[in-house]
Amino acid sequence: MFQGPLTESIIRRAIGRGLITIEIHNLRDYAKGTQRQVDDTPFGGGGGMVLKPEPIFEAVEAIKVRNPDEKTKVILLCPQGRRFDQEKAEELSGYERIILICGRYEGVDERVRMHLADEELSIGDFVITGGELAAMIVIDAMARLIPGVLGDPESPRKDSFSARVLGYPLYTRPADFRGMKVPDILLSGNHSEIERWRKEKALEATIRKRPDLMEKNEKGKDSQ
């Protein structure tokens, strides 16, 4: 599942330049028995299967042993976790190593949540097949914040949500497409006025589409 997203575009270049390293670990490699079983039925009954604690603990402990001095964060991707956002991506990009545990089936044994994971993250209030897709999103969001990954060092700072506002409207050639014209200000060459226009439009879009972001901005100001 990981091969496509991790071998294309920005992630591929970042890996090729040695700016980030991504390793995929198969839980079956850490499971015991001839069947290498990683899941089992839940105690107390109920439908579905639950990921067993042994292979997950074994995997995380083996990874940590290889580089014991690195600053490591162990994250369980699951519906119960805190909502992943740009602020969390910025925080996580400062870690030397992050271990992402991908939930599957009905979930994972509670002992993983209670005694192994440092934190739980969710990418939203909806159901997907497993934590692998969520892991790819987290990886992509963090990777672009690593210095040198993006060509323009200012790009992460200008991205939507970095300043808790949405992006401003973007236009490119042609200036007139089927009668739909680019705003005159963008063709004026007056960079200070263009910058002011962009800030105004970004603020308008945020107020109209995501007023919750504006509430966060106000709370942030109050706490300073």
Catalytic residues: 79, 106, 144, 159
CA–CA separation, 133 and 2 (whole Å): 8
Q: Which helix (H) or strand (E) holds 160?
A: none
* 6 contacts: CB under 8 Å, gap ≥ 6: 12, 15, 22, 136, 139
Distance of CA 183 to the CA centre of its chain: 34
Among residues 208, 207, 215, 199, the alpha carbon closest in space to that of 167 is found at 199
Locate 18 and state its tokens: 């040695």
Task: Output the CA–CA distances (angstroms, integers) from residue 92 to 36, 78, 158, 197, 211, in the order listed.
Answer: 32, 17, 19, 33, 26
